[in-house]
């Protein structure tokens, strides 16, 4: 193998190594208890248009959620409100156990990973967060006192082209239960399309091969 060709291959590898990832913004993540305009809905509004209960210790499966700003929780905002299983709006003593709140967002072709942050409140503790069914390993989070109003960040690479699911798992140890997600935002990274990377590699190889022939 000639020196020029060898250098060309090396150049191609270096180009593959140095092509940067690009980032984009997730545009269809919503706070809890808001309409499509991002404004908080009134107490008692049901269902929340963006979050559902997929499993619940009250026997709910794929049930709706209701906006409920309990006086026992830190207050909602103009752009986010607490939600509870619909039965919890009229039943203070909800069954003990886990309640899984699901929302979705979409990603374009080439998306490789996501990073999401939000202020998350829970009653009682937030136990886990799942992205497309896989736990993100987030430590216990949330709470419902004012000092619990702090942001958390999470993310991962188990992403899909098109619809992705995000589940907040909340444990209720008695009394009311609910979820608050406010100020949610997210970004995703993309990897270059194979055809683009391959083209750059070929160009780099040809340049160095041509230089080698001129010597």
Q: What sign results for the dihedral spanned by CA atoms 81, 87, 88, 89?
A: positive
**Each residue's pLDDT tens digit, 52-106:** 998 876 665 667 789 998 888 999 999 999 999 877 777 778 889 999 999 999 9
Q: What is the mean pLDDT of residues 168-196?
A: 87
pLDDT at position 214: 52
Yes or no: say if 101 and 60 are a contact pair by the CB < 8 Å rule: no
Distance CA 162, CA 159 (A): 9
Which pLDDT score, from 0 to 100, does residue 48 have? 93
pLDDT at residue 93 in the model: 83
Nearest Cα residue to 83 out of 35, 117, 23, 127: 35
Write down the mean pLDDT value for the chain.
82
Share of the chain above pLDDT 90, in %: 58
Q: What band does 40 get if pLDDT is binned at 50, 70 and 90?
A: very high
- The residue written with tokens 């000092």 in the block is 147
Say which residues have a Cβ less than 8 Å from residue 43's Cβ, sequence separation at least 6.
67, 68, 69, 81
The mean pLDDT of 168-190, rounded to a whole number, is 94
Residue 8 has pLDDT above 70, yes or no: no
Distance CA 150, CA 155 (A): 17
Q: What is the pLDDT of residue 58?
A: 62
- Which tokens hold the place of 102? 């699901």
Could you give the CA distance from residue 139 to residue 143 in angstroms, rounded to a whole number? Answer: 13
Q: Given pLDDT bands bounded at 50, 70 and 90, which one contains residue 203?
A: very low
Give residue 3's pLDDT.
52
H or E stretch covering 180? strand 178-190
What distance separates the 2 farthest-apart alpha carbons in the chain?
A: 84
Omega cis (within 30) before 134: no
- Torsion 135-33-160-62 (CA) sign: positive
CA dihedral 59, 53, 90, 147 (to 10 degrees): 120
Is residue 52 a contact partner of residue 140, using CB atoms and an 8 Å limit? no
């Amino acid at each position: 193998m000639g020196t020029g060709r060898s250098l060309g291959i090396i150049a191609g590898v270096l180009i593959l190594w140095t092509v940067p990832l690009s980032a984009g913004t997730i545009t269809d993540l919503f706070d809890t208890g808001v309409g499509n305009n991002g404004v908080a809905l009134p107490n008692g509004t049901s269902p929340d248009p963006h979050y559902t209960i997929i499993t619940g210790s009250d026997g709910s499966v794929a049930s709706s959620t209701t906006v409920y700003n309990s006086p026992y929780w830190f207050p909602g905002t103009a752009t986010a409100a607490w939600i509870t299983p619909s039965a919890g709006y009229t039943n203070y003593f909800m069954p003990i156990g886990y309640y899984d709140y699901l929302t979705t967002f979409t990603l374009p072709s080439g998306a490789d990973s996501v990073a999401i942050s939000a202020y998350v409140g829970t009653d009682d503790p937030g136990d886990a967060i799942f992205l497309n069914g896989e736990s993100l390993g987030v430590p216990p989070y949330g709470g419902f006192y004012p000092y619990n109003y702090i942001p958390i960040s999470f993310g991962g690479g188990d992403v899909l082209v098109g619809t992705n699911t995000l589940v907040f798992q909340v444990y209720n140890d008695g009394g009311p239960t609910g979820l608050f997600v406010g100020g949610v935002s997210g970004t995703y990274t993309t990897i270059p399309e194979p055809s683009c990377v391959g083209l750059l590699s070929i160009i780099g190889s040809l340049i160095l091969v041509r230089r080698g022939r001129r010597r």
